């Protein structure tokens, strides 16, 4: 199985940006760890990051031909991008939404996710481990294992 991991705006600043909230590891370090976990689970991940909404949308569209599922940390786009929401609904792949911090324990504008209704699940507040939880959950779903 192949899984596309998409990271949105400002996630390229991990390790520097508010480390008390987002941790001290860089996105590359987190993705390297996730790649190792994926190998152990018998799958492959490809990860991409952009600060541009259109890139995320294009990657979601392209995922349908080359991947089995999507893990998406849309960053701030989570709270208002109907275009990304529509991109998710336009493909036949399952997607999981990930957030490093607990978006419901932060500023009120972060409490709303316009994506949550169109993904199979959301993982929030577990830091870098959230990506592994999303990967395990997505593989569980793809294999049709009981919930």
Query: Which strands sit side by side in the sheet containing 69-73, from one edge to the other?
Result: 44-49, 2-7, 69-73, 95-99, 121-124
| Burial zone of 21 (CB within 10 Å; 0-12 exposed, 13-18 middle, 19+ buried) | exposed
Catalytic residue among 22, 47, 61, 82: 22
131 is catalytic: no
Hunting for tokens 């991991």 — which residue is that?
A: 5
Q: Token digits for 131?
A: 């990506």
Q: What is the DSSP letter of 55?
A: H
99 is catalytic: yes
Catalytic residue among 52, 82, 99, 104: 99
Q: Which of the residues are catalytic? A: 22, 99
């Amino acid at each position: 199985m192949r899984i596309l991991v998409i990271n949105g705006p400002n996630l390229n600043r991990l390790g520097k940006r508010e480390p008390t909230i987002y941790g001290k590891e860089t996105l590359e370090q987190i993705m390297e760890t996730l790649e190792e976990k994926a190998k152990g689970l018998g799958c492959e991940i490809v990860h991409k990051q952009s600060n541009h909404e259109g890139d995320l949308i294009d990657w979601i569209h392209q995922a349908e031909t080359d991947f089995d599922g999507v893990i998406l940390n849309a960053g701030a786009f989570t709270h208002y991008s109907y275009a990304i929401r529509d991109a998710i609904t336009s493909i036949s792949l399952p997607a999981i939404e990930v957030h490093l911090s607990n978006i419901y324990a932060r500023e009120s504008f972060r409490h709303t996710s316009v994506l949550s209704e169109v993904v199979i699940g959301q993982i929030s507040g577990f830091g870098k481990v959230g990506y592994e939880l999303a990967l395990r959950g997505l593989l569980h779903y793809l294999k049709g294992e009981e919930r």
